[in-house]
Structure 1
Amino acid sequence: SFAWLLIFSNKVQCSVRNRLGTGRPHTARTSENIERVRESVEESAETSTRRRSAQLGLSRRSLQRILATLHMFPYKIQLVQEIKPTDYQQRLDYAIALQRKARENRDFIDNIIMSDEAHFHLNGFVNKQNIRIWATENPRVVYQRELHPLKCTVWCGVSSERDIFLRE
């Protein structure tokens, strides 16, 4: 809160005003390095800042500052399940059937099991948490994946009456 900030600033002799620069020159943010970073991102937008800084011989923080100067941001990829043309009608038919059953039986919703699962992929599946694409605008990158890749799945469910776990 603002009151806490005032108390804190009085105790440690600090201010919320913008500080003036130290006057020290920007040794890493040269026009040459900025251009090198721009070219590097154009060649491979998915390279991490850690790897890119090592490739360019810049500190990671200097690279981050240059990327900010270039108005580039780390965008997450979007993973979507591959949908075949026949899937649209099947999904619509299923939704209509569920609505009909809910109207016919008031307890129908109470008998539904809500479940979740975690997949451990065996084929080098892309983890979207580990990928960022550096760009000035969101590139809206979408990666399609196989519908049935090799994987190990952990599952559990919850109904209105109990928790359900699979045991082997």
Structure 2
Amino acid sequence: MGAMNNPKRFKSCPEKTTVWCGLWAGRIMDPYFFKTEAGRNITVNGDRYRAMITDYLIPEIEARGLDEIWFQQDGATCHTLRETVALLLEPFGEHLISRFGTVNWQAGSCDITPLDFFLWGYVKSKVYIDKPATIKALEANITRVIGQIPLEILIRVIEDWNYRMDVVNRSRGQHLKEIIFKK
């Protein structure tokens, strides 16, 4: 799971947006934009990330009937705080791939995280085509682009993730030359 921050493309706009998204077995959750109750954009910290998990992620998983799924996240501090890991262990148990989780995920392993090796680059390549001039337009583009990703692409992403995980397993901690130079 990951976050995308608005790059310094809007020099006249001091506002930024931070978005979280989940991807599983060829499907993708609607983006979650971190905002105050009044609708102001905010950055992510441990409390806000845990609120997103409690108020958005867990209800979405339950509403979709997703059982036995794995939850993988990067090494961002708000993701790896003790309180956050404890919260994630409740619904995911042994299926938590995270630094300090049941399956330890080392920082800097973005080349095998689907949101990092695919989603954020894909979304960024599409959302700026019409040069959104406001954060509201940028967020609308992000939501639209994510909603329009073809199922065939998402299936290939999951297949590629499976391949990458096989390479990680075979490498026993070595550099992943097969991944870097294969694609």
TM-score (norm 2): 0.26
More helix by share: 2
More strand by share: 1
TM-score (norm 1): 0.27
